[in-house]
Amino acid sequence: MTRHKITVRDIGKKYESGRKLTMITCYDAAFARIMDKAGPDMLLVGDSLGMVIQGRRNTLEVTLEEMAYHCRAVSRANPAAHLICDMPFMSYQISPEQALESAGFLIREGRGESVKLEGGEEVAESIARIVKAGIPVVGHLGLTPQSIHKFGGFVMQGRDEESAARIRRDALILQEAGAFLIVLEGIPATLAEDVTQSLRIPAVGIGAGPGCSGQVLVCYDMLGMDERFNPRFLKKYAALHEIIENAAKAYVSEVESGAFPGKENY
């Protein structure tokens, strides 16, 4: 059965009904087609592609053009899920005008349906400008990967009262600026639940416990594509690295032995 296209309004209705929201991060048409068949509410084209796809140490080198390229690829799968595209580092920090232009580029050239940007009060004006232009916005608080040099690495945030209070305050500010959803990453479960309950919009968590309005995972991570990556927040629903490696070994062996291609292959 073909699913209807999920809109921001649909996401809001599901949240208001008390059902958990689902978001999956992917970066290309092949995975987007497969993931969308599972029925998630949202697909996120994350700037995490810098690490997962490009092999970089962090997300800071990802460009606006690269985000648009990958978002276009995902959009070609024609997913029913709502398509969100990350705004990469330094594509929105300079001014609200720059943020609006970058968001418009990701919608126009990347064919995204909403954009996500990191930060709290400091990006509220930019969010308001983007929303006013008719582009839905997702906020992102807690462990924001574009600020890893400030944090000293990929470390949990909100552990002390001062930083926890800032996250609580920033969540309300993003809501008032017009964000329709907030991602909470790498914060204590109790804090994430408090923030979620304080909002009128959903908060989707990653490494933030079960008290959020839903969850997000990267498809490569949940499929076990990298046996080296095993953070506590991740549940691997498959071990594809083993399957893929064994398939490649079988191919190499059969080509070398002459077993492939067989008569059935030509």
Give the residue numbers marked as catalytic. Answer: 185
Could you give phi then psi for residue 61, rounded to 5 degrees? Answer: -90, -5
118: closest CA among 139, 134, 99?
139
Cα 182 to Cα 138: distance, rounded to the nearest angstrom: 5
Cα 249 to Cα 28: distance, rounded to the nearest angstrom: 25
Q: Cα Rg for the chain, rounded, in angstroms?
A: 20
Q: Residue 60, exposed/middle/buried by CB under 10 A (0-12, 13-18, 19+)?
A: middle
**Cβ-contact 77, 35 below 8 angstroms:** no
Cα 113 to Cα 172: distance, rounded to the nearest angstrom: 23
What is residue 259's DSSP assignment? Answer: -
